[in-house]
Structure 1
């Protein structure tokens, strides 16, 4: 169940992160960024901070998705 929750949170986080970072992506890319960001950010945040619950996962997911967008904008688009 926790992985399923991260996927659901990731979809919302991908949407929020793409809007905050002002990047235009299609729906599949937005969902992929959100899910990967949720997995990276959610797990990292839970390891670094002993805070549990929905808000910690959402914050971590948004931060993780924003980090992926930053990497994408600086390294992938530059090619």
Structure 2
């Protein structure tokens, strides 16, 4: 079923891409362009999201550490 879905999405993506680039291709070539483009685009998107995920994780860790230190200073050091 995933292959059929990939072909359908590939046909639509290939059609749109060939119209944007003003190219006239046959149906098999249009589908191939869309399917291969989906594979390339999906891989690139996963890399970008992974990189953003790592960056977001680092920012979140820093913010969490700052909140922990703030809480320590306010609540524990203030009691001394």
Structure ranking higher in helix proportion: 2
Cα RMSD of the aligned pairs, angstroms, is 2.1
Once the two structures are superposed, the pairs formed by residues 31-42 of structure 1 within 5 Å of their partners are 31-42=31-42
Q: Distance in 1 between matches of 2:24 and 2:46?
A: 29
- TM-score, length of structure 2 as denominator length: 0.51
Q: Which has the higher contact order (CA 8 A, sep 6+)?
A: 1
Structure 2 unaligned segments of length 5 or more: list them: 51-80
Identify the residue that residue 16 of structure 1 maps to in structure 2.
Answer: 16
> Which one has a bigger Cα radius of gyration?
2
Structure 1 unaligned segments of length 5 or more: list them: 51-79
